[in-house]
Structure 1
Amino acid sequence: MKFELPNFSNILIGKSLKTEELKSEKFNVLWGLPIMSSDAISSVAYAGEEILLILIPVMGIMSYRYMLYASLCIVFLLFMLTFSYRQTIDAYPGGGGSYIVAKDNLGTTAGLVAGASLTIDYILTVAVSASAGTAAITSAVPHLLEHKVGITLLLILVLVIGNLKGIRESSKVFGIPTYLFIISILFMIIWGIIRVHFLGYIPKLAYKIPKVSGSITLFLFLRAFAAGCTALTGIEAVSNGVPNFKEPSQKHAKIVLTLLSFIVLLMFGGISYLATIYHAVPNSEVTVVAQISGQIFNGNIIFYLIQIATAIILIMAGNTSFAGLPLLLAIMAKDGYAPRQFTKRGKRLGYSNGIITLGILSSMLVVIFKGDTHYLLALYAVGVFISFTLSQWGMFRRWTKSKKQGWRHKAFINGLGAVLTFTTTIIIGITRFKHGAWVVFICIPLIVYVMGKIKIHYSEVAKQLKLSAEDLQMPKEINFKRQKRYVIVPIDTLNKSFLKALNYARTISDNIIIFHVSVDNEATEKLLKKWHEYDVDIPIVVKKSPYRNIVGPLVKFIESEEYAAGSKDTVTVVLPQFVVTKWWGNILHNQTAVFIKTMLLRRRNIAIITIPYIIDED
């Protein structure tokens, strides 16, 4: 009996899924709500604390009154964004959110700025949520405080593995804790209000409130408002990820967005109100939510359950990024502004490269900022409000240009949203600039520049690979020698690189088969249409690969009776491969030829010839 070692990747993330199973890997409302909105829902755990951090040192006991005023302003902005993004979902069911809206209505540069802003926001979301989750854990178990960076990195690793399992699996794993957090916080709010107003409980100060050292000013209030706007991060994620929902995707996305806003209203408003009556004082060791729940439940088991639920939801908040950023990168990659690897789906049909990249970048931020939530939050919200503004302004331009039925009220909603979010962006930028927001204003232009260079690279490659009528006539004029040899030339796209490999194959054999592995029906149809248009006198064999495996179908075809070559015959596989002159260019291409070559070298009856096609870049 042959003993085989278990496949580690299958144990870790599960067996490969067929491409046809993609339809089942979608969210319904029940599971879409916790996954796509976990960022916004979790933000209520620390948004109120950020407001108090600004007000308490100056206003003392008076901070709690102005905290409520700031919270009301944030709630108003929340509902404006909700109405605005419902219109975005109707207009752009393909997802992409701010990037697509800005690119279509304001131009490519605006779209890239929105895409860069969202990318920064998504990466920060994972770093902040994992760090905040660690803070909740260390609030309950202070002895773990010295290990907070290691704990945070471990939490991010769990998120990465969970999302590599695929949409359906991750929704079940991460959805239940989100509902647990919602229920536990709502219970805390209700019971906390009942204890004070109906049972006569008088809250006791856990920490000393600083004395009043100043009066409220417009700038101080705006700083507090800007700090609390972290409660609105994640609102755009639903419109960004519409394709992740089951059909009718737009309807399901709009329901989730509405439910999300209502839940954030109840929870953010409730926690803010509890903070005012229980007089929670922010500090680096115990969170505001922990102080409130500690007084309400006297440190009993419910207190620890709330801390556990809070820690889990803060970790789960990163799931919004893992659902949104890989899809955004895939859309930008299809447009040529991000490496093409981001368009490839992994074995569980998720955009694995995007998931892994997000995990690595967010982990780097955690290490750089030592897992401190307050340092990370200084960078937070700037990028997301830039994308909010571009999205709202783009939708306003869309309605005023098209002037379709009902355009006036739609334009009013998006126009007002654009004014409010732009004003908030300015406030956040000014109040947080010296605290770290300046980093974001440097990173966004840098990312946009890199995206532009990537686009130029891909455009130059496509230009040099494009076939002309003269290129296709050349092979017919050459007198190729007839030889009794079997040759296969794999093809992905009909271009100059492939044609060079085909020309070489003709010199060594006339027993040539062009072999294509279909992992995308639309791309295959385009290839076959072009193939028949050019009337190449060589048969093309197309084999579907439901698991997106390129090498397997090729080897299986060679060994099958369908292929004329015998088991003892040598088959030459001629691989087209284009080579870029700049080292960084290789990062932007899938290097499929290298991968196929590496795998086929293990087969004794297969000879491999690589035909390079050099791309000259200025």
Structure 2
Amino acid sequence: MELKLGKFLIGKTLKTDELKNEKFNVFWGLPILSSDAISSVAYAGEAILLILISTMGAASYKYMFYATLCIVILMFILVFSYRQTIDSYPDGGGSYIVAKDNLGTIPGLVAGAALSIDYVLTVAVSTCAGTAAITSAVPSLIQHKVLITIALIIIMTIGNLRGIRESSRIFGIPTYVFIFAVIGMIIYGIIKVHVLGYTPTAQYVIPKGTGNMTIGLFLTAFASGCTALTGIEAVSNGIPNFKEPSQKNAKIVLELLALTIFVVFGGLSYLATLYHAVPRADVTVLAQIAVQVFGKNFFFYLIQITTAIILIMAANTAYSGLPLLLALMAKDGFIPRQFTKRGKRLGFSNGIILIAVFACILVIAFKGDTNLLLPLYAVGVFISFTLSQSGMFLKWVRSKQGAWRHKAFINGLGVMVSLGTALIIGVTRFKHGAWIVCIVVPALVLLMTKIKRHYTLVANQLKLNVDQRPKEINFAEQKRYVILPIDTLNKAFLKALNYARTISDEIIVFHVSVDDAATAKLIKRWEQYNVGIPIIIKKSPYRNIVTPLVKFIESEEYAAGPRDTVTVIMPQFVVQKWWGNILHNQTALFIKTMLLKRRNIAMITVPYIIEEQ
């Protein structure tokens, strides 16, 4: 039943050589790898207004447009910079690979850790924002927003576990619907005011201004709006996911992404200044604009539905980018090797599941509130932007090949704007939650260095030199002893005993007594069974099973010499239903786990399968 459900949800297992069919072209690559950046415009303008409106009142809309203009300029600088990254690093990896190759291991790990945090935040923020769009249209659902958000994350996770090609088909079309729906609203919204003569009136009271514009206030608003630029990195990370020519296709997607953000983000910001939307907890700015442009008709609900979908789809960028990043870091030995393994549908399933787990934790911890999560957002991505651009700048300066001055200038400009933006975001958002990222990034880097040290230690100890030959075995001098632990005399024990007799004649049946009555019963049955093998009884007053067995093996009472082999054979019955394991005490598993830590003992498990009726 479990296998059938898994096949229904995830699909049939694909062969490894089918990987080439699991890559996408430009048409499907744009919505998958760009959905985060495209969707960020749905709440980036609102984030700017939220900072400005309480201080500036109606004047906020003018400065909102200026902040948007600065963000668009920053976006184009980053896009030109990342074009060069795509040319230089065709295997993907983005900031992590660039920083590690050109700046060193630690900067590379900082970039990888910062990006990993931001990818997880992308899933949490985008699904929370999608839930906000749903509750704006159906306010009665607001009390269930955490459950709705977690359900959306689970749906996204299942979709991505089905593989790159299927996820692009499932999640790509809604992204295009959103783009065209919003562009249509922008065009009609502008025509309605400037051609049809409509005079917009704010749906909600605009707060009165209580102060003047300052550099600090403008920079805070700018930092909040920079969430519109998250996701640009994903295209350079995901080059291997494109069909050939992968670099050319990735650059085309990056250029189309920049054009889309320019039109949608700029257009929505302009509509916000025309229709005077006011940030509120219960109704999004985008919903306020849509209801004034269209009224509460089909087109209003189309905007709300497509907005909710694209905000949720934004998580798809993280599902595409982070597993690939984790696979590269795991290949280098900085995170567990399990993240290099492809799943049934040829995606990096462990990375996909990891994102879902941590995103759900964030949603629960921050109560599904987008505004509480946003201060943590974008800090990590601009740290990675800065390190990536710095690495590329040093690459050109050191190589001095071709038009290196032109390329170094572009990346050098990218360094300055990325670093400046990272500092602005870090300072303005520090007390609101960015301090968490400043603690988690170094902690992750420390953890990754410890993992690398462990893998290096293991590799050094496992390394086999050609002069290390198999030892000569003399069975006349070296005996093979078998110890067979017994708790009760049953068929599982008999199967283990039958196996033990195939490998040695030196068999000892060993019982640890923790219950006198049970032990007496066992001895009586053993004597009746009469197989001609001695049984050793050791009493354990503290009910410890493993220690008496180990002490017996190491004691003079046991006849094994230093060159003899000692094998412990454990009978273990296996139930076919997963819940059956909960009903049994798993003594064999516990003993095996403890004995594996002893150098002079070999372990063999003999399974006995329990058939279900």
Query: TM > 0.5 between the two?
Result: yes
Amino acid of the structure 2 residue aligned with 1:209: I
Q: In the alignment, is residue 250 of structure 1 matched against residue 238 of structure 2?
A: no
What is the aligned partner in structure 1 of residue 289 from structure 2? 292
Are 1:474 and 2:462 an aligned pair?
no
Structure 2 counterpart of 1:190: 187
Give structure 2 stretches of 5+ with no counterpart: 477-501, 505-592
List gaps (5 residues or longer) in structure 1: 482-506, 510-576, 583-592, 605-618
Q: Match for 1:385 among 342, 365, 382? A: 382
- Counterpart in 2 of 1:395? 392
1:7 shift after superposition: 1.4
Superposition deviation, residue 470 in structure 1:
3.5
**2: distance between equivalents of 1:172 and 1:580?**
48
Deviations 1:284-330 (Å, cap 9, x if unpaired)?
01000000000000111110011000000000000000000000000
Secondary structure of 1:469's match? coil
Cα deviation 1:329-388 (Å, max 9, x = unaligned): 000000000111100100000000000010000000000000000010010000000000
Which of 223, 226, 231 is the matching residue for 1:226? 223
* 1:344 corresponding residue in structure 2: 341
Supply the distance in 2 between the matched residues of 1:142 and 1:253 (Cα, whole angstroms).
40
Q: Match of 1:103?
A: 100
User: Which residues of 2 match residues 200-279 of structure 1 at below 5 A?
Assistant: 200-279=197-276
Which aligned pairs between 1:135-214 and structure 2 lie closer than 5 A?
Answer: 135-214=132-211
Q: What TM-score results when the alignment is normalised by the length of structure 2?
A: 0.78
Q: Deviations over 1:575-607 (max 9, x none)?
A: xx999979xxxxxxxxxx99xx99x94789xxx
- 1:14, distance to aligned residue in structure 2 (A): 0.3
Choose the corresponding residue for 2:323, options 305, 317, 326.
Answer: 326
1:178-228 alpha-carbon deviations (Å, 9 max, x no partner): 000001000000000000000000112100011111110000000010000
- Tell me which residue corresponds to 1:92: 89
C-alpha spacing 1:297/1:410, structure 2 compared with 1 (3 Å): same
Per-residue displacement from partner, 1:73-124 (whole Å, max 9, x unpaired)? Answer: 0000000000000100010011110000000000000000000000000000
Alignment of 1:10 with 2:11, yes or no, is no
| Change beyond 3 A, Cα 1:580–1:326 | farther
Amino acid at match of 1:415: G
Counterpart for residue 317 of structure 1: 314
Counterparts of residues 401-440 of structure 1 (less than 5 Å): 401-440=398-437
Structure 2 match to 1:487: none
* Structure 1 match to 2:482: none
Equivalent position amino acid for 1:273 in 2: Y
1:457 corresponding residue in structure 2:
454
**DSSP 3-state at the match of 1:45:** helix
Q: Residue 211 of structure 2: SS of its match in structure 1? A: coil
Distance 1:480 1:73, change over 3 A: farther
Measure the CA separation in 2 of the matches of 1:409 and 1:266. Answer: 28
| Structure 1 pair 94–274 and aligned structure 2 pair: CA distance change class (3 A) | same
- Kindly state the Cα deviation for residue 251 of structure 1 after the two structures are TM-superposed: 0.6
Equivalent position SS for 1:321: helix
Distance in 2, matches of 1:307 and 1:431, equals: 31
**Structure 2: how far apart are the matches of 1:363 and 1:480?**
59
Q: Given residue 118 of structure 1, which amino acid in structure 2 is its aligned partner?
A: L
Q: 1:474 is matched by which residue type in structure 2?
A: P
Q: Measure, in 1, the Cα distance between the counterparts of 2:594 and 2:376.
A: 41
What is the alpha-carbon distance in structure 2 between the residues aligned to residue 581 and residue 213 of structure 1?
69
Residue 404 to residue 190, structure 1, CA distance change in 2 (3 Å):
same
The corresponding residue for 2:277 is 280
1:33 paired residue number: 30
Find the aligned partners of 1:69 and 1:580 in 2 and give their Cα distance. 66
Give the whole-Å Cα distance in 1 for the aligned partners of 2:144 and 2:101.
Answer: 46
Rounded to whole Å, the distance in 2 between the matches of 1:580 and 1:313 is 51
Partners of 1:375 and 1:6 in 2: how far apart?
Answer: 40
CA distance in 1, matches of 2:470, 2:150: 57
What residue is the counterpart of 1:447 in the other structure? 444
Q: Name the SS for the 1:347 alignment partner.
A: coil
AA at the equivalent of 1:18: K
Read off the aligned partner of 2:450 and give its amino acid letter.
Answer: K
Q: Give the deviation of 1:242 after TM superposition.
A: 0.5
SS in 2 for 1:474: coil
**What is the alpha-carbon distance in structure 2 between the residues aligned to residue 350 and residue 41 of structure 1?**
24
Residue 474 of structure 1 deviates from its aligned partner by 3.4
Instruction: Give, in whole Å, the separation in 1 of the partners of 2:416 and 2:24.
Output: 33
The CA distance in 1 between the partners of 2:33 and 2:24, in whole Å, is 9
Q: Residue 376 of structure 2: SS of its match in structure 1? A: coil
Give the 4+ runs in structure 1 shifted more than 6 A: 577-582
How far apart, in 1, do the equivalents of 2:451 and 2:289 lie?
50
Aligned residue for 1:404, secondary structure, equals coil
Letter matched to residue 169 of structure 1: E
How do 1:351-390 residues align onto structure 2 when only pairs under 5 Å count?
Answer: 351-390=348-387
Aligned equivalents of 2:323 and 2:294: distance in 1? 41
Change (3 A) 1:327 1:5: closer
Deviation at 1:469, TM superposition (A): 3.0
- SS state of the match for residue 378, structure 1? helix
Q: Aligned AA for 1:105?
A: N
Q: CA deviation at 1:479?
A: 4.7
Q: How many percent identity over aligned positions?
A: 67
Q: Aligned residues, how many? A: 495
**What is the CA–CA distance in structure 1 between the aligned matches of 2:413 and 2:99, rounded to whole Å?**
17
CA distance in 2, matches of 1:206, 1:79: 34
What letter matches 1:60 in structure 2? G
> How far apart are the structure 2 equivalents of 1:268 and 1:349?
35
Question: Is the alpha carbon distance of 1:292 and 1:86 closer, same or farther for their aligned partners in structure 2, counting shifts above 3 Å?
Answer: same
Q: 1:199 to 1:422 in 2, by over 3 A?
A: same
In 1, Cα distance between equivalents of 2:608 and 2:124:
42
User: Which amino acid in structure 2 is aligned with residue 304 of structure 1?
Assistant: Y
Letter of the structure 1 residue corresponding to residue 222 of structure 2: F
Alpha-carbon distance, 1:6 to partner:
6.5
Say which SS state the counterpart of residue 226 (structure 2) adopts.
helix
Tell me how large the CA RMSD over aligned residues is: 2.2
Cα deviations by residue, 1:18-69 (Å, 9 ceiling, x for unpaired):
0000000001001000000000000000000000001100001111111111
